[in-house]
Structure 1
């Protein structure tokens, strides 16, 4: 289970749709040095952890011929081994690479999973940067020989920056291995050392409280952090719990004294920081995380320390991702861009829900042979070697319909110097189930539904495991508003916005009591074919917990890149629940009101 899951969560950088190297190419594998590196003084408790790492040094690179370095680590549940192809690929491009197993995962050490926080994970990465800068105070041992290791093969910038043990170094990694880059950059910036020169975080989060319990009515188009309590993604949370337990059990052979065992059983929870399990227990018992747990998760997120991320940043986020959606990348990108951090944003085809890039899209084993690999090299070459022009900033996005027409993955990517792109176009909720283009054509009406259980009955996906079963909304559990068939294609790039007027007298009487008494629903946008077949782009939905039913409710719908073809219809759906989320414990009858005095509008970001 762990390794199978790890392949999907942690090896996104190499891509199973990889482009093969030319037949004439002869690859010489770098034999890495297996190291144990001791990092100290982590967190308020001053924790010491043993980091399992592999050092890849390309042929011809030595103290007299140093090279820039790249630091990388695994996704959730993985190990340093998951980064081997990336390290080999960058090695062939002349980069020294240090791949390490993140804190809390299987490495023979009992330090817990701390969710990429600055005080533990960020500080550990900072010390690994010092190790790459030749700092002998960061103790490292070659596991094969037992000899101490001090790096002297990496380009140093001490004389230029005035910072001791300052390597020319960047970071790259996906998911859990993406967020740690922000934490490391912040730690370095707060210390005034700025040893990190460029980062490439892929498919990672902005605000973990939103990732695990999203609430899409209390956010803006450029932020996912809400003052409202969201709807937990119980399936994703269960998966991470299982992975944490398995990692802890696999590290049990590391126990050599009673003190270590006491730490595992008393201070850890399924190999997590204990506060993680507090949040999980809250979801299981009351149905939502407490304000304290939300704050705990948010503190372990770049959303809480964006001003301290000043390093050039290439963000890549997946269109096929129900864990860390496109809105999270927008929140990070726009904040960094607006504060002057050199930043680019890419919306790629693949993500946690489908980790197979298109052929030629991403292959870090042979980065020069793929679209995203060449982009990564351009960022590393410029910021670490001073070679090549400054990389392109702005916004790029993959269009599956262009790829289907041309077979050219490069042509499938569009670029804009600005974000958002396109122009807003509105449709209006009318009557008992229509979407119309003319607000003057709106007629009075209503559509109703009721939730029936805390989980479901609507179905969109089995998180991480399956997206092949049909999307369903059992009768009486959802309201749908559908447009006439389109007379021309409509290309949507970004997050549509839906505003509705709701009536739910039962909930209105209890909403002041807090999350347990508030209305929960799931909003989504369907592509309905001429035959009535429903497509929910990448199975993405927007869970909502409504704070105040006396006002119109505005929902940020999922970010998508999707063409609604001629002859197809758009359909807005409001559902009482979904099998992937934890909703209300009690039934909640709800009515959508349309017509004069009742706001009902869908705003689409349309590019064509």
Structure 2
């Protein structure tokens, strides 16, 4: 049986799509997978042995005499190999041998815990599966139907070229949890000098899991999400991603806003996680933030900590609709890979963890040749695994919803640039009376104030991925807003705006030296305000910050977005004292924001067009 539900982070990401394949002259014979149990050994410091449940898909006509390249794929968090059936059959019909497997820790009866895609367990296990695809008889695989030992001999071998034994022509694809394991596998292979992995396609995955679950967006580099500061826990997602999502399912969602109940859950059996995961949960429930040790634990399980060992061509796709792993994470990974010379392409697609449904024609891996992203994947694998076709286009591509609405053409909705970032920077200035003005000479002195009132909320943006429909709210006294005049022409923002403000908070100035618990927590966000006053928060994305020093100007990196602010609309930047999706300050924190000539206060926007 599967442990828990797959409703949260399902790996059906790759099979989701509203595309119907056109009628073909011939209907391909459906590939019936061979159900295998593969024994992987020597994992982690304890040298664990784990049983991996896998399905081997071999296309018709592919055998030892006519081998084909292979693709390895695994599930998203909480899923199983079954979630990968569409991608396996879709790539199989394109002539690829596919091995779909259930990630470590997601099958009852196996004693191996969930280790968050670390290199020593998850990466090493996938490396052994690559050896299996390369025909290594020492990697034991058994046919579950017959009990016969299986040695894979239908995959193209590269031993003579690379000098590496049991080296298949092989790539990997997967989303979310099934995305990060690709980086772990590539790093393990490169560190060992074997490099059996030839191309990867990680979708909607993380760069730094410490940032993903407890982001800190203050004064960070535009091309990195890793900070030396302590983040603000993404309370709902953290709970759903770990204990609640797997062990207890959706019926325990009320605990998301009940720290005492969450603390009780975290002291249980830890839902088959490495115990340090639940230690971090307990810290958040009791102190309100993760310790340095927990932050280091999460960061170690992230490509940010070992990117120099990832040298495999990478087609990286990230979702605009994603409050779990945001666009900034993909920028950090893309930039690091590109700057070290790794062939890398970055795609900002429409869909993500907050909305798992691609646009019609955008992604359908069951029929990859019939969708925009599916064709990108085929071009990537065809070139790097088969040596066929031109070198794929690198650089940066991004989906524009307003173009799709105007044209009805999802392919035309994608723009391409040679690299990220794109466009130019335009600056608006914070002025008294709550205005955003283009002319710095128009700035007048003023002040605005707010206070946090509870560790969780009361300001509302979302309920993780479960509800993106309710209105965003900022109760009186809990936030300040600065608004531009109505726009005379559309403004297209592509990337991460940056906000700089000057604050006064004597209470926090006296407590911030005590550590994270005494530091100011705030949440910054950018609204699109319509002529009728209706507020849109693009994809419900916000930037929480734990400010290390309130006596100096504070710079916040706002969420990465692709958004058109239409003519007649206004931009509004908001600073709030809390949010229902995050674990904020335990004590009230009154804050005054100062504006005026010579006072640091501006909003920088990355604008295209």
TM range (shorter): over 0.9
1:13 alignment partner, SS class: helix
Closer/same/farther in 2, CA of residues 212 and 266 from structure 1, 3 Å limit: closer
Partner in structure 1 of residue 485 of structure 2? 484
Contact 1:112-1:268 at 8 Å conserved across structures:
no
Query: Equivalent residue for 1:354?
Result: 355
Provide the C-alpha distance between the structure 2 equivalents of 1:16 and 1:9, rounded to a whole number of angstroms: 14
Gaps of 5+ in 1: 248-264
User: How does the TM-score come out when normalised to structure 2?
Assistant: 0.95
1:490-501 residue pairs with structure 2 within 5 A?
490-501=491-502
Instruction: Give the TM-score normalised by the residue count of structure 1.
Output: 0.95
Partner Cα distance (1:293, 1:21) in 2: 50
Contact 1:228 1:547 in 2 (8 A): yes
Question: What does residue 288 of structure 1 align with?
Answer: 289
Residue number in structure 1 paired with 2:473? 472
RMSD: 1.5
Q: Are the equivalent residues in 2 in contact too, given 1:168–1:196 (CA < 8 A)?
A: yes
Contact (CA 8 Å) 2:35, 2:56: kept in 1 or not?
yes
Contact 2:132 2:139 survives alignment (8 Å): yes
User: 1:343-394 deviations in whole A, cap 9, x for unaligned?
Assistant: 0000000000000000000000000000000000000000000000000000
Following superposition, the deviation at residue 17 of structure 1 comes to 2.4
- How is 1:31-180 mapped onto 2 (pairs within 5 angstroms)? 31-106=32-107, 108-180=109-181
- Spell out, residue by residue over 1:253-307, the C-alpha distance to the aligned partner (whole angstroms, 9 max, x if none): xxxxxxxxxxxx9996211000000000000010100000000000000000010
Q: Deviations over 1:511-570 (max 9, x none)?
A: 001100000010000000000000000000000000001110000000000000000000
> How many residues are matched?
591
Aligned to 1:522: 523
**Structure 1 segment 238-317 matched on structure 2, within 5 A:** 238-240=239-241, 241-245=243-247, 269-317=270-318
| CA–CA distance in structure 1, aligned partners of residues 24 and 390 of structure 2 | 30
SS at match of 1:523: strand
- Kept in 2, the 8 Å contact 1:6–1:75? The answer is no
Higher mean C-alpha displacement, 227-236 vs 354-363 = 227-236
Distance 1:486 1:113 in 2: 50
Q: Distance in 2 between matches of 1:242 and 1:165?
A: 41
Contact 1:130 1:166 (C-alpha < 8 Å) held by counterparts: yes
Q: Is residue 2:13 matched to residue 1:12? A: yes
Distance in 2, matches of 1:61 and 1:322, equals 42
- Residues in 1 aligned to 2:163 and 2:431: alpha-carbon distance in whole angstroms: 65
User: CA contact under 8 A between 1:42 and 1:48: conserved in structure 2?
Assistant: yes
Deviation string for 1:565-603 (max 9, x for gaps)? 000000000001000000000000011110123200100
Structure 1 match to 2:204? 203
Number of the residue aligned with 1:589: 590
Deviation at 1:3, TM superposition (A): 7.2
Shift of residue 401, structure 1, vs aligned partner: 0.1
Separation in structure 2 between the aligned mates of residue 454 and residue 243 of structure 1, nearest angstrom: 22
Q: SS of 1:574's equivalent? A: strand
> Residue 397 of structure 2 aligns to a residue in which SS?
strand
Quote how far apart the aligned CAs of 1:24 are: 5.3
Q: Give me the whole-angstrom Cα distance separating, in 2, the residues matched to 1:505 and 1:580.
A: 27
Shift, 1:23, TM fit: 6.2
CA distance in 2 between partners of 1:397 and 1:266 (Å): 43
Q: Distance in 2 between matches of 1:469 and 1:2?
A: 31
Superposition deviation, residue 245 in structure 1: 2.2
Which secondary structure state, in structure 2, belongs to the residue aligned with residue 53 of structure 1? strand
- In structure 2, C-alpha distance between the alignment counterparts of 1:198 and 1:373, rounded to whole Å: 15
Q: Deviations over 1:28-74 (max 9, x none)?
A: 21110100000000001100000000000000000000000000000
8 Å contact kept, 2:399–2:413: yes
In the other structure, the counterpart of 2:407 is 406
Once residues 18 and 8 of structure 1 are traced to their aligned partners in structure 2, the CA distance between those partners, rounded to angstroms, is: 22
Q: In 1, distance between residues paired with 2:352 and 2:72?
A: 22
Match of 1:568 in 2: 569
Q: Aligned partners of 2:429 and 2:8: how far apart in 1?
A: 44
Q: Note the C-alpha offset of 1:509.
A: 0.4
